[in-house]
Structure 1
Amino acid sequence: MRGRAKSAVWLAVMTAALLWPAGERARAATVFESLTVENGYPQTLTFRVTVRADADITDATLYYRIKGRGASAFDKPEELKPGRLVTAEVVMQVNSGQVYIPVGSEFTYSWEVTTADGQVARSEEREFLYLPPDREWKSVSNDFMTMYYHGDRETLARAYLDAGQDTYERIGRQLYGVTLTTLPVKVILFASEAEMTPARPGSGGRFDAAVTTCGTKVTNDILLMNPTPCGSTDRTDTLRHELGHILNDVAGQGTLAKLPAWMDEGAAVYAQSSPGDYEGAFRAAVRADRLIPFNQMTVPTSNPQLVGVFYGQAYFMVKFLIDREGPARFAELMRTIKSGTRFDQAIERVYGLSMAEFEDAFRAEHGLAPRSQPTAAPTAAPTQRPQQTQPTATPTRAAAQQASDGGGDAGLDRGMVLIFGVAVLLALAGVFSWLVSMMLANRREQGGGGAGPGAAGGPPAG
């Protein structure tokens, strides 16, 4: 009896082992020894795994998602040498011509491996916050925003935080009546513009060299910021401006119809505590009657000398509409565009103004005559900066220079006409002189061929 009992116990143990789910056996036989992320800011992130199994590991896959992007993705190592102890890695580009993943992005990731016997094992999920390395990042937060900073900038970070709260209340809730859903909004506060530049998408070139960038909205939940004053006595206006872009997107940016550049930038300047130097650039353009035609305000200017005028005029265009019929009507305009109506049609529907009537009324508001002839739209759109980049700059002297240079092209055309006219007159005089010479020669031949008075080599007429 005792021998039979031992046999029964042994049989039960073996049966349980055989009936144990295959996935559980794989998990027991596969050990994830390490999961790491190597931060190659500003160009790459390298996700690396070291794993051990009882059978050869033949495949590995990295699964990840970025908070606020709403989708998951996966990637595989370029090389994987099968073995029972394997280290595999995926190198992810984060700032190239084709891919841009901003600092401040929050990753959730895990690895999955397959062994030669067909078993699959999945690691636990890990989280990774992408920030520039080699700095001691700190943070302060409120109920919708987190400020990341390093060094002794806590006082400034808290000032930005308070400005963000005020702007959200004043523009988001009171003007537009919207609520942010992708939270928290993360603000990365760099020490300087130079330190921020590598984190921006597609930076470089003549425009960037001429324009100071104090802040950039890169996604609807990430702002890049530096403490450089940008044409306003209130340093926090840069954050107000960039947060304004996020609120504009939520209130008015649709999938079928988009906000024109003047409306997006003008409303962002309206979110500031004041328009700052943009107002001076605009007033100078008004005095010189050098406002930018409305049909050229739909895309951002590619001319660094016109940045101040563009932002100032955009601000006053938005202010004109808000002052004309109140904030509620402007919020209705935003909703109308978001619903899929093109902005010019939306303005006509909400305000009863065509764009030509809007432009003439705006010019009259600032003491200028109506535009007598429509200005032709540019044949090609000006070169634009990358999506998600909004420069905050204040080149106030550009407007005055632009006004003082007025008529330069026309003066050059008149000079060319004058030169051409003189050349024609000289040519006609030469032809006339030749005709007179031919007539005199004919007369001499008819009268005996004597030389005229003063002609060398001929006897005097007899």
Structure 2
Amino acid sequence: MRRGALAATAALLVLAAAAGLPPRGAASAAVIESMTVENGYPRTLTFRVTARADVDITDATLSYAIKGRGTLALGKPDSLERGKTVTAEVVLQVNSGQSYIPVGSEFTYSWEVQTADGQVTRSEERQFLYLPPDRQWQSVANDFMVVYYHGDRETLARAYLNAGADTYERIGRQLYGITLTTLPVKVILFANEAEMDPARPGTGGRFDAAVTTCGTKVTNDILLMIPVPCGSTDRTDTLRHELGHILNDIAGQGALAKLPAWLDEGAAVYAQSSPGDYEGAFRAAVRADRLIPFNQMVVPTSNPQLVGVFYGQAYFMVKFLVDREGPGKFAELMRTIKGGVRYDQAIERVYGLTMQQFEDAFRAAYGLAPRSAPTAAPTAAPTQRPQQAQPTAAPTKAPAQAGGGTGGDSGIDRGLLIILGLAVLLALAAVFSWLVAMMLANNRERGAGSGPGGPGPGGSPGPPTAGGR
């Protein structure tokens, strides 16, 4: 009898398995019903999942990666109310003080859902391209670049695409001999600066208010820009400039040694079809003998009125090196820095020039006398600069002042002030000592007049007492 019951049970299990039904007492895996991304540009992205199961769902985990970043990240919901049907969400901050994920980022993401009995269900992977919503984005592409645009700008987008191909060939392949590896390079073409501003990191302040930002390299595969001329008659020079920054990074930025601002910006202007207005600002500074000292070119200027001079001088410093010994030596300089040699030591190794000799030779090439002494602290190695802050800027007002005072050429020397101060203190001490001496003398004279040898008839002092003056 028992043998018959066992056989019947086994037969039922076989039939259930054949029909795809779970064994009695076992719960089926969770089912993921929907996955969505809510675009809260420019601040947040909200990843949301809805799932159901025969038993309570107790946990949910978002897994995501951004193309070109090489890392996988996990996100947990702030709260999850367990149940047989749940909706969970993870909110990513994309442009805050702590986090910046640029528009143009390509996400690959999936969800894992766990039930109370320990079963884990993983969704399929999905892709999401982060672009500002409420725009009908279109794109044109070649083998290494995609230009995203909206509105009636296809012809312009193709012009940017062609400029990118030309710059990659001329600077990347021919000058540096490098190949882009993080592809495609994505160019987000906004209608104007006001539309682009929310997408940029860290905007604001007097400097941003005083310049027009025409383009920004935010990562080595994402460029933001607007379709306006930026100091050049060729509006695509903004793309050439920002792509130049990407190529500079690959050719010269290393883990130990970094490119100084003049070398990075100068090579980016060198990638343009022409230096444009930057050349005029530089030549005005030459005429006024107001070039920026080389040891102040290591970091970008914070003075909006010197933007044109800074970019122009950086360009001509790079051009001076290229013209001096040819493109091959300049490419060697970039490789040497990338290999971990500090930029000033690399220049001495490749060109045989100290920075002081480089500056004197550069000034002599434009008919200027050498600098007799440094105007600031000695040249230091540049520190790491944020990758996302590489704007192509142009003054919004006429770039007057071919060069400003450095703060070290005028005023009284600190050592002289200290000497003068000590002299004044010594003089005051001498006057105080004299006054004390006079008071003591008067007191002694009054004491002598009250004794036996008082003053004579004419009021003259009597003989001094013992121990007197």
Same fold (TM over 0.5): yes
What pairs with 1:28-107 in structure 2 (closer than 5 Å)?
Answer: 28-107=28-107
Query: CA offsets per residue over residues 304-336 of structure 1, 9 Å max, x none?
Result: 111110000000000000000000000000000
Q: Does the 8 Å contact 1:202/1:386 carry over to 2? A: no
Q: Does 1:257 align with 2:252?
A: no
- Assess, with a 3 A threshold, how the Cα gap between structure 1 residues 398 and 313 changes in structure 2: closer, same or farther: farther
- Structure 1 residue 13: deviation in Å? 4.0
Q: Which residue in 1 is equivalent to 2:313?
A: 313
Partner SS for 1:234: coil
Q: Which residue in 1 is equivalent to 2:14?
A: 12
Q: Does the 8 Å contact 2:220/2:246 carry over to 1? A: yes
Q: Does the 8 Å contact 1:282/1:399 carry over to 2? A: no
Q: Which residue in 2 is equivalent to 1:130?
A: 130
Separation of aligned partners in 2, 1:398 and 1:413: 33
Gaps of 5+ in 1: 425-447, 449-462
Partner SS for 2:42: coil
- Assess, with a 3 A threshold, how the Cα gap between structure 1 residues 298 and 167 changes in structure 2: closer, same or farther: same
Separation of aligned partners in 2, 1:407 and 1:361: 21
Paired residue type of 1:316: F
- Assess, with a 3 A threshold, how the Cα gap between structure 1 residues 229 and 30 changes in structure 2: closer, same or farther: same
- Assess, with a 3 A threshold, how the Cα gap between structure 1 residues 107 and 294 changes in structure 2: closer, same or farther: same
- Structure 1 residue 392: deviation in Å? 1.7
Q: Which residue in 1 is equivalent to 2:442?
A: none
Paired residue type of 1:246: I
Q: Which residue in 1 is equivalent to 2:353?
A: 353
Q: Which residue in 2 is equivalent to 1:388?
A: 388
Separation of aligned partners in 2, 1:413 and 1:244: 44
Gaps of 5+ in 2: 425-457, 459-469
Q: Does 1:241 align with 2:241?
A: yes
Q: Which residue in 2 is equivalent to 1:441?
A: none
Separation of aligned partners in 2, 1:185 and 1:345: 32
Q: Which residue in 2 is equivalent to 1:282?
A: 282
Separation of aligned partners in 1, 2:130 and 2:66: 10
Q: Does the 8 Å contact 2:210/2:396 carry over to 1? A: no
Paired residue type of 1:185: V
Q: Does the 8 Å contact 2:259/2:343 carry over to 1? A: yes
Partner SS for 1:213: strand
Partner SS for 2:315: helix
Query: CA offsets per residue over residues 122-178 of structure 1, 9 Å max, x none?
Result: 111111000000000000000000000000000000000000000000000000000
- Structure 1 residue 381: deviation in Å? 11
Separation of aligned partners in 2, 1:274 and 1:135: 33
Q: Which residue in 2 is equivalent to 1:435?
A: none
Separation of aligned partners in 2, 1:397 and 1:96: 30
Paired residue type of 1:136: Q
Separation of aligned partners in 2, 1:412 and 1:360: 25
Going by fraction, where is helix more abundant, 1 or 2?
1
- Assess, with a 3 A threshold, how the Cα gap between structure 1 residues 384 and 195 changes in structure 2: closer, same or farther: farther
Query: CA offsets per residue over residues 205-256 of structure 1, 9 Å max, x none?
Result: 1000001000000000000010121110000000000000000000000000
- Assess, with a 3 A threshold, how the Cα gap between structure 1 residues 313 and 396 changes in structure 2: closer, same or farther: farther
Q: Does the 8 Å contact 2:160/2:236 carry over to 1? A: yes
Separation of aligned partners in 1, 2:397 and 2:17: 87
Separation of aligned partners in 1, 2:410 and 2:347: 38
Paired residue type of 1:10: L
Partner SS for 1:151: coil
Partner SS for 2:268: helix
Partner SS for 1:329: helix
Partner SS for 2:112: strand
Q: Which residue in 1 is equivalent to 2:432?
A: none
- Structure 1 residue 12: deviation in Å? 3.5
Separation of aligned partners in 1, 2:14 and 2:319: 82
- Structure 1 residue 30: deviation in Å? 1.3
Alignment: residue pair count: 414
Separation of aligned partners in 2, 1:127 and 1:15: 35
Separation of aligned partners in 1, 2:213 and 2:385: 12
Partner SS for 1:87: strand
Q: Which residue in 2 is equivalent to 1:302?
A: 302
Q: Does the 8 Å contact 1:193/1:228 carry over to 2? A: no
- Assess, with a 3 A threshold, how the Cα gap between structure 1 residues 317 and 268 changes in structure 2: closer, same or farther: same
Q: Does the 8 Å contact 1:278/1:308 carry over to 2? A: yes
Query: CA offsets per residue over residues 28-73 of structure 1, 9 Å max, x none?
Result: 5311111000000000000000000111001110000000000100
Quote the sequence identity (%): 80
Separation of aligned partners in 2, 1:382 and 1:307: 19
Query: CA offsets per residue over residues 14-34 of structure 1, 9 Å max, x none?
Result: 68899989xxx87x5311111
Q: Does 1:190 align with 2:194?
A: no
Paired residue type of 2:45: L
- Assess, with a 3 A threshold, how the Cα gap between structure 1 residues 356 and 20 changes in structure 2: closer, same or farther: farther
Paired residue type of 2:234: D
Query: CA offsets per residue over residues 405-460 of structure 1, 9 Å max, x none?
Result: 7699978879xx9xx9xxx9xxxxxxxxxxxxxxxxxxxxxxx9xxxxxxxxxxxx
- Structure 1 residue 374: deviation in Å? 1.7
TM-score (norm 1): 0.83
- Structure 1 residue 394: deviation in Å? 2.9
- Assess, with a 3 A threshold, how the Cα gap between structure 1 residues 87 and 18 changes in structure 2: closer, same or farther: closer
- Assess, with a 3 A threshold, how the Cα gap between structure 1 residues 279 and 11 changes in structure 2: closer, same or farther: closer
Q: Does the 8 Å contact 1:284/1:400 carry over to 2? A: no
Q: Does the 8 Å contact 2:256/2:340 carry over to 1? A: yes
Q: Does 1:206 align with 2:199?
A: no
Separation of aligned partners in 2, 1:167 and 1:407: 36
- Structure 1 residue 373: deviation in Å? 1.1
Paired residue type of 2:58: T
Separation of aligned partners in 2, 1:164 and 1:15: 60
- Structure 1 residue 385: deviation in Å? 8.5
- Assess, with a 3 A threshold, how the Cα gap between structure 1 residues 79 and 190 changes in structure 2: closer, same or farther: same
Q: Does the 8 Å contact 2:219/2:387 carry over to 1? A: no
Q: Does the 8 Å contact 1:285/1:400 carry over to 2? A: no
Q: Which residue in 2 is equivalent to 1:364?
A: 364
- Assess, with a 3 A threshold, how the Cα gap between structure 1 residues 115 and 308 changes in structure 2: closer, same or farther: same
Q: Does the 8 Å contact 2:173/2:179 carry over to 1? A: yes
Partner SS for 2:134: coil
Q: Does the 8 Å contact 2:147/2:157 carry over to 1? A: yes
Separation of aligned partners in 1, 2:254 and 2:384: 20
TM-score (norm 2): 0.82
Partner SS for 1:84: strand
Paired residue type of 2:354: S
